[in-house]
Amino acid sequence: MEDSSERKMVVVSAMAKVTNMMYDLIDRAQSRDDSYELALDAVFEKHKLTAIDLLDGDELASFLSTLSLDINNLKAMLRAIYIAGHATESFSDFVVGYGELWSAQILSSVLRKGGIDCNWMDTRDVLIVTPAGSNQVDPNYAESEKRLKNWLLQNPSQAIVATGFIASTPQNIPTTLKRDGSDFSAAIMGALFRAQQVTIWTDVDGVYSADPRKVSEAVILNTLSYQEAWEMSYFGANVLHPRTIIPVMRYDIPIVIRNVFNLFAPGTKICRLPVSEKEEKQKLETYVKGFATIDNVALVNVEGTGMAGVPGTASAIFGVVKDVGANVIMISQASSEHSVCFAVPDKEVKAVAKALETRFCQALGAGRLSQVAVIPNCSILAAVGQKMASTPGVSATLFNALATANINVRAIAQGCSEYNITVVVKREDCIRALRAVHSRFYLSKTSIAVGIIGPGLIGATLLNQLRDQAAVLKEKSKTDLRVMGILGSRKMLLSDMGIDLSKWKELQKEKGEKADLEKFVQHVHGNHFIPNTVLVDCTASTDVAEHYHDWLRAGIHVITPNKKANSGPLDKYLKLRTLQRQSFTHYFYEATVGAGLPIMHTLRDLLQTGDKIIRIEGIFSGTLSYIFNNFVDTRAFSEVVKEARAAGYTEPDPRDDLAGTDVARKVIILARECGLELELSDIPVQSLVPDPLKATASVDDFLQQLPSFDADIANKRQAAEDAGEVLRYVGVVDVTNQKGLVELQRYNKTHPFAQLSGSDNIIAFTTERYNKQPLIVRGPGAGAEVTAGGVFSDLLRLASNLGAPSF
Helix (H, G, I), strand (E, B) or coil at 168: strand
Instruction: List own/partner pairs for 6-9 with CB under 8 A and 24 or more apart.
Output: 6/158, 7/158, 7/159, 8/158, 8/159, 8/160, 9/121, 9/159, 9/160, 9/161, 9/162, 9/189, 9/193, 9/195
Q: How many CB atoms lie within 10 A of CB 259?
A: 17
The partner residues of 536 in beta bridges, in order of sequence, read 452, 559
Element (H, E) at 54: helix 36-54
Distance in angstroms (rounded) separating the CA atoms of residues 234 and 491:
47
Q: How many CB atoms lie within 10 A of CB 496?
A: 10
For every residue of 645-674, DSSP letters joined together read HHTT-S-SSTHHHHT-HHHHHHHHHHHHHT
Q: Cβ(440)–Cβ(400) under 8 Å?
A: yes
Nearest of 382, 377, 459 to residue 422 by alpha carbon: 382
Distance in angstroms (rounded) separating the CA atoms of residues 445 and 171:
59
- Amino acid identity at 589: Y
Dihedrals φ, ψ of 398, to 5°? -60, -50
User: Please, what sign has the CA dihedral across residues 239, 243, 249, 251?
Assistant: negative
State the alpha helices, DSSP H only, in 512-569. 517-525, 542-545, 548-553, 564-567
**For residue 402, with 0-12 CB atoms within 10 Å meaning exposed, 13-18 middle and 19 or more buried, which class applies?**
buried
Helix (H, G, I), strand (E, B) or coil at 219: coil
Nearest of 133, 236, 147, 233 to residue 188 by alpha carbon: 147
Distance in angstroms (rounded) separating the CA atoms of residues 602 and 604:
5
Q: How far is CA 598 from CA 473, 675, 760, in A?
A: 21, 19, 14
Instruction: List own/partner pairs for 743-751 with CB under 8 A and 24 or more apart.
Output: 743/684, 743/685, 743/686, 744/686, 744/688, 744/716, 746/720, 748/724, 749/724, 749/725
Q: Cβ(30)–Cβ(85) under 8 Å?
A: yes
Q: Cβ(203)–Cβ(260) under 8 Å?
A: yes
**479, 431, 504, 797: CA torsion to nearest 10:** -20
Active site residues: 666
SS3 content of the chain, % helix, strand, coil (to 5): 45, 20, 30
- Amino acid identity at 330: M
Helix axes 394-404, 430-442, angle to 10 degrees: 130
Burial 205-234 (b: 16+ CB within 10 A, else e): bbbbbbbeebbebbebbebbbbbbbbbbbb
Nearest of 535, 536, 587 to residue 566 by alpha carbon: 587
Q: How many CB atoms lie within 10 A of CB 201?
A: 16
User: Please, what sign has the CA dihedral across residues 468, 471, 474, 477?
Assistant: negative
Cα 806 to its chain centre, rounded Å, is 26
Distance in angstroms (rounded) separating the CA atoms of residues 287 and 387:
6
Q: How far is CA 765 from CA 348, 590, 724, in A?
A: 76, 16, 24
- Amino acid identity at 570: L
In the sheet with 159-163, reading across from the earlier edge strand, the strands are 8-12, 159-163, 118-121
